[in-house]
Amino acid sequence: MLNTTTFVGLDVHARSIKAVALDVMTGETKSATFAYDAAAVAEWVRSLDPAAKCVYESGVTGFDLQKKLTALGVGCVIGAVSKMIKPSADRKRKNDRNDAEFLARMLSVGNVVGVWVPDDECEAARDLVRALDDARDDLRRCKQRLSKFLLRHGLVFSETTPSGQRKGNWTAAHWAWISAVSFKERADNEVLAYYIDAVRQKMEDKKRLEDLVKDEASKARWRKRVDSVRCLKGIDVMSAADLVFEADEFSRFKNARSFGAWLGLAPSEHSSGESTRQGGITKAGNKHLRRVLVESAWHYLNASAHPKDLAKGQVPDPAARRHAAKGIRRLVRRREEMLERGVHKNKANVATARELAAWVWAVGCMVEGA
């Protein structure tokens, strides 16, 4: 039981905070409006009840307010929006005060599922891998703009090797071909130069961020887990860093199924009575990691069941490496069985990604000693 009778709901915006305090003993509510100022909120909450508990919804405002209130001695949790069930009647009377009061009442009855709040170092590492993901997206867009600009002018790279196989795009040969392109109109040449510069700049940005991620992953806090997760095929340094930085502590998930659900890799279900129906994955989770694991799972389409060789400087936990070897054998065998049964390759890949997530969780927990 909580040692308080006062619960405070906060409706947090970029420049304002609406607070509603609920006294469960008397049913009385009090409200106040603040600028985005944690100190002012903390002072008001302490004036009502020094042991009061606060809650606000997870969203774009992140963890900043929770960390500041906690530092000021005010208990605060961030409620997972996906776990909150609001009455349909409230949809017709939505406003900041009602939203804040709803949160206070949910907290008072213990109906708030708090999200994991990473420390500053973990949040910085997360920001780094997410910035790298943004850089990859930017690079992909810039490459597409350049290639489609050339396509509009009827220019398509089609050089082949002596064996007749077409050379790949963005290779040295492809760049040499692009550099040789010239137009009659000066404006087209200026546009081409702009697109080339944009691609090269984004390539440099991506490389710089990859180096920063590698440096972060080499820190003592992360290195053992990153090196151990890398023992699974399909997962390199970047993918392992994504998984470890985002999860922070694998042992915070009670089992592999919970970890898979957090990634949105759990199957959806619509069952009632004697009818049981399961559908595709829920996709209600960490979209970034879900994509990483689905891409990694494609490696098991043609992978051998042999353990993965260690890379230079990789020092995994010995027990975790042996467990990862078991996981590789299991995943390769399962993928082969699904394809033999005629399961569609995309469906089989998602199923492999879900099981790969379970092995990632297991390896991570072994390193953490949980």
Contacts of 129 (CB under 8 A, 6+ apart): 213, 238, 241, 242, 245, 246, 288
Q: How far is 90 from 201, CA to CA, in rounded Å?
A: 49
For 45-60, the DSSP string reads HHHH-TT-EEEEE-ST
The whole-number pLDDT of residue 272 equals 75
Per-residue pLDDT 10s for the chain (370 aa) are: 457 889 999 999 999 999 999 999 999 999 999 999 999 999 999 999 999 999 999 999 999 999 999 999 999 999 999 888 877 777 778 899 999 999 999 999 999 999 999 999 999 999 999 999 999 999 999 999 999 999 999 999 999 999 989 999 999 999 999 999 999 999 999 999 999 999 999 999 999 999 999 999 999 999 999 999 999 999 999 999 999 999 999 999 999 999 999 999 998 887 777 777 888 898 988 999 999 999 999 999 999 999 999 999 999 999 999 999 999 999 999 999 999 999 999 999 999 999 999 999 999 999 999 7
Q: Tell me which DSSP letter residue 160 carries.
A: B
Q: How far is 365 from 222, CA to CA, in rounded Å?
A: 13
C-beta of residue 156 within 8 angstroms of C-beta of residue 150 = yes
Contacts of 253 (CB under 8 A, 6+ apart): 247, 259, 262, 361
The whole-number pLDDT of residue 267 equals 87
Q: How far is 210 from 212, CA to CA, in rounded Å?
A: 5
- Which DSSP helix (H) or strand (E) runs through 153? none
Q: How far is 220 from 121, CA to CA, in rounded Å?
A: 12
Q: How far is 336 from 334, CA to CA, in rounded Å?
A: 5
- Residue 255, SS3 per DSSP: coil
Q: What is the CA radius of gyration of the chain?
A: 26
Residue 136 has phi, psi (to 5 degrees) of: -65, -40
Cβ-based neighbour number of residue 249 at 10 Å: 15
